[in-house]
Structure 1
Amino acid sequence: MLRLSVNDEVSRLKAVVLGTAKSCGPIPKPEEAYDPKSLEHILAGTYPKEEDMIGEMEAFSEVLKKYNVAVFRPEVLKDCNQIFSRDIAFVIEEKLIISNILPDREKEVDAILHVLDKIPEENILHPPEKVHVEGGDVMPWNDYIFVGTYTGEDYAYHITARTNSHAVEYLRNQFPGKKVKSFELRKSKNARENALHLDCCFQPLGKGKAILHKNGFLVEEEYQWLVDFFGREHIFEISADEMYHMFSNVFSIAPDVVVSEKNFKRLNNWLREQGFTVEEVPYAEISKQEGLLRCSTLPLIRE
C-alpha cells in the first residue's frame, strides 16, 4: 500500500507518477488543440516529435531515480497524449483527488489504475461533476492550499479555463484545517498572455523563495498578496517571454534540489546563487504543449 503524504511543493520526494510520451498519437488538427501554445506549433509545423519527447521524459526520469524516488508510469494507451499526469489527479495530505478534466482525457485516469490500486479506497476522492479542477491549479503549501481559478461569466467559452469556483469551495470543505487562497488567472487565446494553470505564473520553492509573473494574475491585489507572503527579495520575477517558455514550471525534488529546463539560464543561475542544486534536463519540445516539468508529475509521497 502507498501511504500518501503531500503537504507542500518542496519536501523530499519519495514517490511520483511521471507521465509518458509513448504512443502520444498523430499531430492534432488545429481544432483539437487544448491550449493556444500547442495550436501555435501545430500551425507553424513545429509541433514536437514523439521520439524527442520520449527522450526528454527519460532524462527527467533518470534524475528522479538518481535521488531514489520511486517512479510510477502510466500504462501506455495507443494514440493518447499522457504526458501531463498533474492534470488528472493530485494529492493533498493523505488524499488523492481525481480531477474532473476535459472529457476527452478521462481514459488517462484508467491508465494509472495500477497505482490507484495501492491506495486505500477511502483516500481517493471523486469530486462532484460541477467541480472543475486540474492539478496544475492546486498547490498545497503547509497551512495553505493555493488555487488558480477563473470565475468570469465567459468561463464556459475558454478552453483554457480549467478550475472553477466550485473547486475552491470543494477544497475548503474537504480540508477544513487548511486556508484555501484562490487567485484569478488571466485566460487568453494568445499563448504569450495565457496562464493555463497557476503553475504557469507562480511556483513556490524551498528556502522561502518563489517564482512569479505579475501579468498571469487578473487581480493585482492577489499578486501583491504573494509578493508580501514570500517577500519581494525572495522572488524571481519572470518576464512575459519567460512565462511563455514556462520558467515557473520547474519541479522540486527536495527543499534544496530543483529540476529545471537546461535553457532557463537566467533562472538556473539565480537558483544556484540562492544555494539550490539545479538538475538541468532538456524539456523544450514538451514545453510546446504549454506544460513542463511540474505538469508531467503527480507527487504521491513527500517526506
Structure 2
Amino acid sequence: MLQLNVRDETSPLKAVVLGIADSPGAIPKPEEAYDPKSLEHILAGTYPREEDMVNEMSAFDRILKKHGVQVFRPEILENCNQIFSRDIAFVIEDKLIKANILPEREKEFEAIIHVLDVIDPDKILVPPESVHIEGGDVMPWKDYIFVGTYRGEDYSSYITARTNTIAVNYLEKAFPHKKVKSFDLRKSNTDPRQNALHLDCCFQPIGRDKAILHKNGFLLEEEYEWLLNYFGKENVFEITSDEMYQMFSNVFSISPEVIVSERSFTRLNNWLREQGFTVEEIPYAEIGKQEGLLRCSTLPLIRE
C-alpha cells in the first residue's frame, strides 16, 4: 500500500502521478474551450499537437526519474486530454481528496484507478457535489492550507471559477488542525492575461521560505499583501501579467533545492539559480498553451 504523505509543496518527492498526453482527441471547437488561453490558440490555429505534448511530458518524466521519483501515469483514454492530473485529485497529509471537476472530465479520475487501488480506501475523501474544488487551487504549506477561490455572486457564469467557498469550508472541517487561508482570484472567460485559473497560476511557494507571486491575480490587494508579508519581499519573485500568462508561477518542486522549470523562463530561472536552486529546464511551452504547466501536470502522492 502507498502511505500517502504531502505536507507542503517542496519536501523531497517520492511518488507522483504525472499526466499523460497520448490521444488527447481532436482540437476542441471554440465553444468547447475550458479556459481563455486554450480558446486563443484554437482561434489562432496554434493549438498544441499531440506529438509535441508527448515529447514535453516525456522530458518531464525523465527528470522526475533521474531524481529517483516513482512515477505513475494514468491509463490512456482514447480522445481525452489527461495532461493535468492536478485537477482530478490532490493529497493533503495522508488523505487523497477527489476533486469535483467539470463533469465532462469525470472519467479522468477513473483512469488512475490502478493508483487508487494501492491506497487505503479510508484515506480517500470524496467531497459532496456542492463542493467545487480542483488541486491547482490547493496548497498545503506548514501550518496552512492555501486555497484559491472565487467569492463573486456570479461564480456560476465563469467556467474559469473552479473552487467555491463551500470547498473552503469543507477543507476547514476535514483538516481542523490547519489554518485554511483563502484568496479571491481574478477570473475572466475571455482574457487569459486577466485570468488566474487556479491559485498556482499566480502564486507558488518554493524552497523553504520563498515564493513566486503575481499581484494582479488577486482581486483583493490585502490578500496579495498578506502573502508578500508572510514570505517577505526579499524572498518573493514578482511576475508580470505576461509572465503569469506564460505560467511562470507553475513550476514544480522535486525538493527544496530542485525545481523543474520551462526552459524559456530566463528571468525566473536566472533568479532561482542566484538563490541557490538547481533548475531542471525542460521544453513545456506547447502544453502551456492550455493554461496549465508543470505543477498542473502532477499529482504528488508522497513527499518525505
**How would you bin the TM-score normalised by the shorter chain?**
over 0.9
Q: Matched residue of 2:193: which SS?
A: coil
Q: Percent identity?
A: 75
Gaps of 5+ in 1: none
Give the aligned partner of residue 151 of structure 1: 151
Give the aligned partner of residue 45 of structure 1: 45
Give the aligned partner of residue 268 of structure 2: 267
Give the aligned partner of residue 78 of structure 1: 78
Residue 265 of structure 1 aligns to which amino acid in structure 2?
Answer: T
1:194 aligns with 2:171: no
CA distance in 2, matches of 1:82, 1:218: 30
Measured against aligned partners, the alpha-carbon deviations of 1:156-176 in whole angstroms (never above 9, x if no partner) come to 000000000000000000000
TM-score of the aligned structures, taking structure 1 as reference length: 1.00
Shift in Å, 1:151: 1.2
1:235 aligns with 2:225: no
CA distance in 1, matches of 2:266, 2:35: 26
Residue 76 of structure 1 aligns to which amino acid in structure 2?
Answer: I
Give the aligned partner of residue 296 of structure 1: 297
Measured against aligned partners, the alpha-carbon deviations of 1:174-216 in whole angstroms (never above 9, x if no partner) come to 0001000000000012111100000000000013110000000
Measured against aligned partners, the alpha-carbon deviations of 1:98-129 in whole angstroms (never above 9, x if no partner) come to 00100000000000000000000000000000
Alignment of 1:4-15 (within 5 A): 4-15=4-15
Q: Matched residue of 1:241: which SS?
A: helix
Q: Matched residue of 2:273: which SS?
A: helix
Residue 287 of structure 2 aligns to which amino acid in structure 1?
Answer: I
Measured against aligned partners, the alpha-carbon deviations of 1:60-111 in whole angstroms (never above 9, x if no partner) come to 0000000010000000000000000000000000000000100000000000
Q: Matched residue of 1:181: which SS?
A: strand
Residue 89 of structure 1 aligns to which amino acid in structure 2?
Answer: A
Residue 87 of structure 2 aligns to which amino acid in structure 1?
Answer: D
CA distance in 2, matches of 1:302, 1:83: 21
Residue 209 of structure 2 aligns to which amino acid in structure 1?
Answer: G
Q: Matched residue of 1:145: which SS?
A: strand
Q: CA RMSD in A?
A: 0.4
Give the aligned partner of residue 36 of structure 1: 36
CA distance in 2, matches of 1:174, 1:209: 27
CA distance in 2, matches of 1:202, 1:101: 21
Which has the higher mean CA deviation after the structures are superposed, 202-211 or 61-70?
202-211
Give the aligned partner of residue 22 of structure 1: 22
1:282 aligns with 2:287: no
Residue 42 of structure 2 aligns to which amino acid in structure 1?
Answer: I
Give the aligned partner of residue 87 of structure 1: 87
List, as ranges, runs of 4+ consecutive aligned residues in structure 1 with deviation greater than 3 Å.
Answer: none
Give the aligned partner of residue 100 of structure 2: 100
Alignment of 1:56-75 (within 5 A): 56-75=56-75
CA distance in 2, matches of 1:240, 1:297: 24
Q: Matched residue of 1:259: which SS?
A: strand
CA distance in 2, matches of 1:78, 1:37: 24
Gaps of 5+ in 2: none
CA distance in 1, matches of 2:293, 2:167: 23
CA distance in 1, matches of 2:52, 2:134: 26
Measured against aligned partners, the alpha-carbon deviations of 1:242-300 in whole angstroms (never above 9, x if no partner) come to 00000000000000100000000000000000000000000000000000000000000
Residue 50 of structure 2 aligns to which amino acid in structure 1?
Answer: E
Alignment of 1:127-138 (within 5 A): 127-138=127-138
Q: Is the 8 A contact 2:149 2:164 kept in 1?
A: yes
Shift in Å, 1:142: 1.3
Q: Is the 8 A contact 2:10 2:208 kept in 1?
A: no
Q: Is the 8 A contact 2:161 2:197 kept in 1?
A: yes
Shift in Å, 1:3: 0.1
Alignment of 1:176-191 (within 5 A): 176-188=176-188, 189-191=190-192
CA distance in 1, matches of 2:255, 2:109: 27
CA distance in 2, matches of 1:228, 1:46: 40
Residue 239 of structure 1 aligns to which amino acid in structure 2?
Answer: T
